[in-house]
């Protein structure tokens, strides 16, 4: 099987601490792959490594067979690997629609000077961005809040806006950072349905998540991390039966209840 996005031997050390240790896995086209693990397992470090927001100590990330791990984030995004953030990271003083319009940056055909002189290409771009933003907001069911200033939005909508911003870049792979964190059951189910719809648009999705229930529902395959190492990989049903995974999660629970 050839992967669209592949992590090979990813390792990240912070001083003496090894946050991520020799982790390898791949994501196929139009697949939904989740990375899970107990708190402190190295999920968010791995997420930053894959999205080029951190440089690996060793190992590499390949996208369509090409190494992207030493690129600046904006170049990785240009190639088609785009991340979202946890909820409060939006352009807070812009309207929801302007947030999405600005995120069309990668689709610009006109140059910066072209925008300054308002060339025909620039005008066409801007009109196209506006239409596309409306389409994305409609797709995510956010059209009713298009005119709101982002800083006034409730939490649920902020998460949706984050995904809308990601979609606007027209990515091949969308990396979602804990998309279900802090949601109740109903909200989680809605969000799960939304992520499925993203795949139907042709996106490949890699998400990092803590919420086991949602992950089991949504994922094609799951990668489990513990203490920075990959301890299991497989379909949700395989993962549910995996002894190492049960041990890792039970171990944490035992600690949490003080055994």
Partner 1 sequence: MSISRRIIAVTAFLILVFAVIPILIAVSGRKDFYYTLSSVALLSMASAGVWLTFHIGRINIGQGAYALMGGYVSAILVMSYGVSFWWTLPLAGLFCALASILIGLPILRLRGVYFAMVTLVLTEVARLLALALPVTQGAKGITSIPVEVFGLTLVPDFTMMENPRIAFYYLSVALMTACFALMHRLVNSRIGHICMSLQQNEELASSIGINIAQIRVIAYAISSFLGGLAGAVFVAATQSVYPSSFTVADSINFMLNCFLGGLGYVFGPMLGTLVLYFGWNLLFETGRFQLLIYSALMIALMLVLPNGLLSLGTLRKER
The site for partner 1 (CB under 8 A) is made up of 51, 53, 72-74, 77-78, 82-85, 89-94, 98, 101-103, 105-106, 108, 112, 115-116, 118, 122, 125-126, 165-166, 168-169
Cβ burial of 22 (10 Å; 0-12, 13-18, 19+) is middle
- Least separation in angstroms between residue 252's CB and partner 1 is 30
**Angle formed at CA 89 by CA 83 and CA 32, multiple of 5 degrees:** 30
- Least separation in angstroms between residue 242's CB and partner 1 is 33
- Least separation in angstroms between residue 14's CB and partner 1 is 19
- Least separation in angstroms between residue 172's CB and partner 1 is 13
Collapsed DSSP state (helix, strand, coil) of residue 209: coil
- Least separation in angstroms between residue 110's CB and partner 1 is 8
User: Rounded CA gap, 115 and 121, in Å?
Assistant: 8
Q: Is the distance from CB of 129 to CB of 107 less than 8 angstroms? A: yes
Nearer to partner 1, 162 or 228 (CB): 162
**CB-based contacts of 89: which residues, under 8 Å, 6+ apart?**
162
Q: Is the distance from CB of 100 to CB of 164 less than 8 angstroms? A: yes
**CB-based contacts of 186: which residues, under 8 Å, 6+ apart?**
none
- Least separation in angstroms between residue 80's CB and partner 1 is 10
Nearer to partner 1, 122 or 245 (CB): 122
- CA 90 from centre of chain: 14
Place of tokens 């050839």: 2
- Least separation in angstroms between residue 202's CB and partner 1 is 19
Nearer to partner 1, 105 or 244 (CB): 105
User: Rounded CA gap, 103 and 106, in Å?
Assistant: 8
Instruction: Taking the CA atoms of 177, 96, 93 and 114 in sequence, report the sign of the dihedral they define.
Output: positive
């Amino acid at each position: 099987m050839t992967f669209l996005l592949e992590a090979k031997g990813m390792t990240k050390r912070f001083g003496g601490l090894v946050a991520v240790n020799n982790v390898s896995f791949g994501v196929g086209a139009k697949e939904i792959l989740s990375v899970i693990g107990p708190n402190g397992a190295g999920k968010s470090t791995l997420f930053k490594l894959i999205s080029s927001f951190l440089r690996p100590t060793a190992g590499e990330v390949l996208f369509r067979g090409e190494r992207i791990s030493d690129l600046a984030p904006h170049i990785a995004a240009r190639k088609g690997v785009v991340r979202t953030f946890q909820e409060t990271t939006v352009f807070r003083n812009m309207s929801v629609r302007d947030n999405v319009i600005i995120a069309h940056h990668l689709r610009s055909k006109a140059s910066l000077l072209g925008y300054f002189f308002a060339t025909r290409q620039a005008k066409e771009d801007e009109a196209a961005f506006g239409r596309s933003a409306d389409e994305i907001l409609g797709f995510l069911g956010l059209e009713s809040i298009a005119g709101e200033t982002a800083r006034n939005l409730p939490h649920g909508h902020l998460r949706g806006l984050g995904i809308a911003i990601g979609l606007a870049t027209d990515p091949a792979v969308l990396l979602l950072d804990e998309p279900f964190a802090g949601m109740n059951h109903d909200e989680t189910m809605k969000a799960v349905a939304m992520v499925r719809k993203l795949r139907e648009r042709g996106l490949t999705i890699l998400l990092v998540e803590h919420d086991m229930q949602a992950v089991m529902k949504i994922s094609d395959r799951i990668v489990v991390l513990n203490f920075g190492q990959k301890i299991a990989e497989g379909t949700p049903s395989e993962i549910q039966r995996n002894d190492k995974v049960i041990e890792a999660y039970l171990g944490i629970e035992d600690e949490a209840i003080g055994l």
